[in-house]
Structure 1
Amino acid sequence: MTIEQPTQAALDEEMRMMVAPRNPGHVPPSDAAFGQTAATAPQYQLRAHPEPPPVPNGWYAICGSVDVASGQVRSVIAVERELVVFRDADGVAHVLDAHCPHNGAHLGGGEVVDGAVRCPYHGWRFDGSGQCVEVPYSDARIPAKACIPSYPVREQDGFILFWFHAQGAPPAFEVPPTEEVGHPDWSEPYEFRFELVAALQEMGENNVDYAHLCYVHGRESVPNDTSVFTTEGPFSTVVETLPDGGAFTRHAWGPGVALLRVPGITTVLTTTTPIDRRHCRLHWHFLFPKAMEGIANDIILGFTGTFGLQADVPIWRDKVYVERPILVKADGNIAEFRRWYAQFYE
């Protein structure tokens, strides 16, 4: 891979955009929770708000590769389900629904025996496909229905990804490997994890909601004329060209995996996994050219700190989902984003 070398002016501009707002007097919006909101005062019975959309179909990170050792079973809540992830005798990761079909025990309390997860309740063992391979106290034929729903898995770039589809359809697309991972000119990943109250679709929509950049993140102008949103099937790209020639490029593969590239500064592999309709888990890997590692923590803080992600958090927490928002022309590509995103509910 050839590493793109932007001009020094472009590097300076990109750094300003990430580490601090361009408007030096900007203060992030006040947190509505300083008063009362439905999210922060759950003891009150308020009229119901519209539900966010259901969990969309796509690839999601169940955990990092380092989170599951050989022979280990790990319990995870994701996509409104209790799941387990484990590695078989060859170290291959598998994801299953968490409850034993025999009598409902949670497999997260079990162990891996001969490459299959063993239920802690009665010892039934299930392989990576979810099929029961042993009932240790019975010589009878294993019932055909003794199986657990399983999920397609891809392990790459330090993540264990699983495919979720509401109707159980097979994967409709793949996530390509990230070129910078393992490249000798690039750092090892710097990890960021965070759970928050937010609907998955609205977090993705945030990337084409250019107007909010002024009021939430301190940008001096709305980048409608310098940002381009394009789609091709389940893939989308946002490119924002900066005044000094730099650019931010964000590639998304479905709703759960995206890659942000800021040439010469950083590449960020982001995974966003819905826990339920209103909660998400972020797991990001920041990669840096070796020359930038000395200021890596400053760049990460720019993305995730007061003027970055943390400025969005209270907005997402307290907003309600609006199925048909009232949009003006300068609202960027929100309508186009929603048309693209609708395919993941089919």
Structure 2
Amino acid sequence: MIHVTAAESDAIRVIEAEEISTRFARGWHCLGLSDGFKDGKPHTINAFGQKLVVFQGEDGKINVLDAYCRHMGGDLSQGTVKGNELACPFHDWRWGGDGRCKQIPYSRRVPLRARTAAWQTADQDGMLFVWNDPEGNPPPPEVMVPKIPGATRDDWTDWVWNKTVVHTNVREVIDNVVDMAHFFYIHHSFPTFFKNVFEGHVATQVMNGKSRPDTARPASSNAPVLTGNSSVASYYGPSFMIDDLTYHYEGFDLESVLINCHYPIDENSFVLMSGIIAQRSDKLPGDAADQMAKTMSKFILSGFDQDVEIWKHKARIDNPLLCEEDGPVYQLRRWYEQFYVDVADIDPEMTARFEHELDTTRPVESWQREVEENIARREKAASS
């Protein structure tokens, strides 16, 4: 038994928050749908505390370079794609996707050290990924984001994609992996099962839930009745989550894949994106599945807005005071730390398998009472 003195219990808990590091996470980061970069023009991306330029050459490969020309500092994102090279708008120096200057039209030769930073990219499942590593090492094959079968199949919809800028540190997004309670209070869902598994570079959240009847919007007469959902959501590295999300309706299940991903602009802001595809079926053929995916996307986007509103006003806290039902916040942050240290400094505890199933008995009983009280209060007000 742990004995706590009166002086200890009366002590004020002080919020601790270290200065945010300007180091950005090692890993694959999604910059958005790849088709948006395939128009033969250079595109500006502000990421990892600097300005980048994205362009596709005639060979079809999408390239990412530092945006400023090493000659006289011209902005390459204002330049022109010429063949497989990006021409600087200032003096027409031609830069290849490998970061080397390929030619200078007015010069007999290219200086030996004419090289800029080039970022390794991957065009996969309709999304563009870029590899970031402060140490400059190439990505190990085993950390590549897994392919999503539905993204390339005709019996699934196309991606419905959203993007927004959030002005806070990216760690706030990651904390949601273990935060069961906020789903009830912020997103108006009702978790009934919640489990986390961390291992290697993957952090997984398994959750079953149902809608809160006291906050659910009235369904139209011809709309299918939603009874619950099942979710297996995994972060593959520091910034890209794949959620195999099943919505349970009366008479059928809707299979979908939700992407929740982000990349840092700087240490105090990031681009938050979501993408969703849904599987077509005899219950949801063709256009019906497309419309459902759009509806689901709006719902997911509203959930992001709810999170952002909290993040805008909350304090950063390194020593959160937790109760028994709060989930493994510290263990998640220990897992997350592996992406912010040199590879040689990764502690085995950061990558060792950790598994925790949260006991939902108390939360479910409490939330059920709250829902019933809210419904009774609303019915009483309506009848008076």
Question: Normalising by structure 1, what TM-score?
Answer: 0.79
Aligned length: 292
How many Å separate the matches in 1 of 2:294 and 2:77?
Answer: 35
Shift of 1:218: 3.0
- Unaligned runs of 5+ residues in structure 1 are 1-48
How many Å separate the matches in 2 of 1:214 and 1:245?
Answer: 14
Instruction: Summarize the alignment of residues 1-346 of structure 1 with structure 2, pairs less than 5 Å apart.
Output: 51-54=19-22, 55-140=24-109, 142-172=110-140, 173-219=143-189, 226-242=193-209, 246-263=229-246, 264-290=254-280, 291=284, 292-305=289-302, 308-346=303-341
User: Deviation string for 1:44-94 (max 9, x for gaps)?
Assistant: xxxxx8543442111112232121235321111111110001112211001
Greater relative contact order (Cα < 8 A, sep 6+):
1
Structure 1 residues 194, 182: CA separation in 2 closer, same or farther (over 3 Å shift)?
A: same
Shift of 1:104: 0.9
Q: Which residue of 1 aligns with 2:376?
A: none
Residue identity matched to 1:241: N
Shift of 1:245: 8.2
Q: Is the 8 A contact 2:243 2:258 kept in 1?
A: yes
Instruction: Give the 4+ runs in structure 1 shifted more than 6 A.
Output: none
User: Deviation string for 1:204-225 (max 9, x for gaps)?
Assistant: 11121112223322345x65xx
Residue identity matched to 1:174: M
Shift of 1:283: 2.6
Residue identity matched to 1:329: E
Q: Is the 8 A contact 2:157 2:293 kept in 1?
A: no
Shift of 1:151: 0.7
Greater CA deviation, 158-167 or 70-79?
Answer: 70-79
User: Deviation string for 1:142-163 (max 9, x for gaps)?
Assistant: 2232111111100012211100
SS at match of 1:331: coil
RMSD: 2.0
How many Å separate the matches in 2 of 1:104 and 1:298?
Answer: 45
User: Deviation string for 1:281-339 (max 9, x for gaps)?
Assistant: 1232210122144433332232222xx22211121122232223233332202111101
SS at match of 2:233: strand
Q: Is the 8 A contact 2:84 2:96 kept in 1?
A: yes
User: Deviation string for 1:224-257 (max 9, x for gaps)?
Assistant: xx21111221112111134788521101111221
SS at match of 2:306: helix
Q: Is the 8 A contact 1:163 1:171 kept in 2?
A: yes
User: Deviation string for 1:17-65 (max 9, x for gaps)?
Assistant: xxxxxxxxxxxxxxxxxxxxxxxxxxxxxxxx85434421111122321
Q: Is the 8 A contact 2:163 2:273 kept in 1?
A: yes
Residue identity matched to 1:255: P
How many Å separate the matches in 2 of 1:174 and 1:122?
Answer: 38
Structure 1 residues 217, 71: CA separation in 2 closer, same or farther (over 3 Å shift)?
A: closer
How many Å separate the matches in 1 of 2:75 and 2:264?
Answer: 21
User: Deviation string for 1:75-134 (max 9, x for gaps)?
Assistant: 111111100011122110010110111111110111122311111111111111101111
- Unaligned runs of 5+ residues in structure 2 are 1-16, 211-226, 247-253, 342-384
Larger radius of gyration: 2
Residue identity matched to 2:313: D
Q: Is the 8 A contact 1:199 1:279 kept in 2?
A: yes
How many Å separate the matches in 2 of 1:296 and 1:126?
Answer: 40
